[in-house]
Amino acid sequence: MSELTSLTLKGALDGLKAKSFSAVELTTAHVAAVEAARALNAFVLETPEKALEMAARSDARIASGEAGPLEGAPLGIKDLFCTEGVRATACSKILGDFKPPYESTVTANLFGDGAVMLGKLNMDEFAMGSSNETSAFGPVVNPWKVAGGNQSLTPGGSSGGSAAAVAADLCLGATATDTGGSIRQPAAFTGTVGIKPTYGRCSRWGVVAFASSLDQAGPIAKTVEDAAILLTSMAGHDPKDSTSLPVDTPDFASFVGKSVKGLRVGVPKEYRVDGMPAEIEKLWEDGVAWLREAGCEIVEVSLPHTKYALPAYYIVAPAEASSNLARYDGMRYGFRAEGNNLTEIYENTRAQGFGAEVKRRILIGTYVLSAGYYDAYYLKALKVRRRIAEDFDRAWEQCDVLLTPTAPSAAFALGERNADPIAMYLNDVFTVTTNLAGLPSISVPAGVDAQGLPLGLQLIGRALDEGTVFSVAGAIEKAAGFKARAERWW
């Protein structure tokens, strides 16, 4: 669209600092891009007045020399984040027109640093999905299409709106959340960068909960450096979240571009799964070669419980969700259905307010926690979770970072995998392990497949070692020289 929307976050921040353009100009360009891109269905709520108001205040602060680190940068906010006075729905009908009287810690951090909000981004309902098709607002369409084709593809999920908006240059970066791969898989499907930090880095306060022990916020951005800049702002200890880590946030951007010489990169053999496209296998090998060239030592490692991560996840996440979503009962906020008595009103409210995938997961979660099944399912899953975390602990004796593909396929067509929930769940086979173990992991675009669709590589680090993850991601980004862009059709 305009020159301004094709800037990276870093480029835009430099331009603002150099007064090459104003925050209002930058925001106006993005507001126009958002309006012009409604065919993508990336935004569920556009807030142009608010955006321009915030941008004007940014200009004033830039003029008075009080600019924050993200001053004037227009961002998209996933609808899972509560935003004060601005509708937040988690893309579920059950929240109705809920307007939170509070701002989530993560968005408050971003806005406190000067960022501008363009609006709320589409996502899978309550972040449950891998294709953005469970949203009450309809699916997001991936800006990318198969070379020469016209079929609508999924941008992945659950942060599909975030990934699509960044890929289509509608915003300079976006907030996202990741419970089983919801930042990284959409990033891989859209040629963007997405990082899920260490569990506890970003406060969960004010983020609609899906599965509390797995949920982590993170950014989706155009470059590794942009992702690092955003995460530096989003992260930080929050006494309002008991699981927030009481640690300082380093300047993550300072790790990008650092030499990776001498780092040991582990390649887990169990991630070579049946039926993985040859192009992904090839890309993985490319990644290994690039890092070897950059001076890394490559070691094969074993994460023997990898294949049990998804089934364990599909007990732990639904169990927590079944309880976290009990508060949506139509009594204090959100949608309330009719009924002849209290129980009926509860049951109708929740039957009509939740979509099919959310209901399916609530039922599974309720089932695995119910009397007689707790030990066999829930407790077993928690023990398997420990086994998975221990696999990583052992791997860290041999290596400093792990390299894997992000997803087992490129973006697929909307509607293609709706019929089979397990086929859909398998999208997260490479990402879900780090949610269970709480480790930082990033997806970096590294190439395209034969159809011209982007593919991502994933780097996994030790807990709280996002620095190394960013350094290695920067090396991959540089070596891959990924320049492909979605051709504009919207």
Partner 1 sequence: MSTNANVIKGRTGDWEIVMGLEIHAQVASNSKLFSGAAVGFGAGPNEQVSLVDAAFPGMLPVLNRYCVEQAVRTGLGLKAQINLKSRFDRKNYFYPDLPQGYQISQFEFPIVGEGEVLVERDDGSSFTVGIERLHLEQDAGKSIHDLDPDATYVDLNRSGTALMEIVSRPHIRTAAEAAAYVKKVRAILVTLGTCDGDMEKGNLRADVNVSVCRVGGYDKFRESGDFSHLGTRCEIKNVNSYRFIQQAIEHEARRQIEILEDGGKIDQETRLFDPVKVETRSMRSKEEAMDYRYFPDPDLLPLVIDAAWVKEIEASLPELPDAKKARLQSQYGLSAYDAGVLTGDAALAAFFETAAVGRNAKLVANWTNNELSAQLALAGLSFDASPIPPKDIAELVELIEKETISSKIAKQVFEHMWAGEGSPAAIVETRGLVQVTDTGAIEAVVDRLIEANPGQAAAVKDKPQAIGWFVGQVMKEMAGKANPAAVNAILKAKLGI
Partner 2 sequence: MAVDAATVRKVARLARIAVPQEALEPLAREIDGIMQWIEQLAEVDTDGVEPMTSAVAAVLPLRDDVVTDGAMVDKVVLNAPKSISGFFVVPKVVE
Residue 208 site contact among partner 1, partner 2, none (CB < 5 to 8 Å, cut-off depends on kind): partner 1
Residue 485 site contact among partner 2, partner 1, none (CB < 5 to 8 Å, cut-off depends on kind): none
Contact criterion met (CB below 8 Å) for 321 and 296: no
Burial class (CB in 10 A: 0-12, 13-18, 19+), 241: middle
User: What character string, x for contact with partner 2 (CB under 8 A) and - otherwise, covers 69-108?
Assistant: ---------------------------x-xx-x-------
User: What character string, x for contact with partner 2 (CB under 8 A) and - otherwise, covers 308-347?
Assistant: x--xx-xx------x---x--xxxxxxxx--x-xxxxxxx
Binding status of residue 259 toward partner 2 by CB under 8 A? no
* Residue 323 annotated in active site: no
Residue 255 site contact among partner 2, partner 1, none (CB < 5 to 8 Å, cut-off depends on kind): none
Give whichever of 275 and 372 is closer to partner 1, judged by the CB atom: 372
> Omega into 158 within 30° of 0, i.e. cis?
yes
The count of chain residues that interact with partner 2, using the rule CB under 8 A, is 69
Catalog residues that contact partner 1 under the rule CB under 8 A.
82, 88, 90, 95, 98, 100-102, 104, 204-209, 211-213, 239-243, 319-320, 322-323, 325-327, 329, 331-333, 342, 346, 366, 369-371, 374, 378
Handedness of CA 216, 218, 459, 171 (dihedral sign): positive
Euclidean distance between CA atoms 427 and 187, whole angstroms: 13
Catalytic residue among 158, 162, 203, 443: 158
Residues 398-437 that bind partner 2 (CB under 8 A): 421-422, 435-437
Beta bridge partners of 119: 46, 76
The minimum distance between CB 359 and partner 2, in angstroms, equals: 6
CA distances from 115 to 234, 239, 387 (A): 11, 23, 41
Residue 374 site contact among partner 1, partner 2, none (CB < 5 to 8 Å, cut-off depends on kind): partner 1
* Residue 182 annotated in active site: yes
Please count the other Cβ atoms lying within 10 Å of the Cβ belonging to residue 371: 5
User: What character string, x for contact with partner 2 (CB under 8 A) and - otherwise, covers 361-380?
Assistant: -xxx-xx--x--x--xx-xx
- DSSP output for 217-250: EEEEESSHHHHHHHHHHH----TTSTTS---PPP
Burial class (CB in 10 A: 0-12, 13-18, 19+), 360: middle
Binding status of residue 271 toward partner 2 by CB under 8 A? no
Interacting residues of 250 by C-beta distance below 8 A, sequence separation 6+: 232, 466, 467
Pairing of strands 264-268, 297-301: parallel
**Residue positions annotated with a catalytic role:** 78, 158, 182
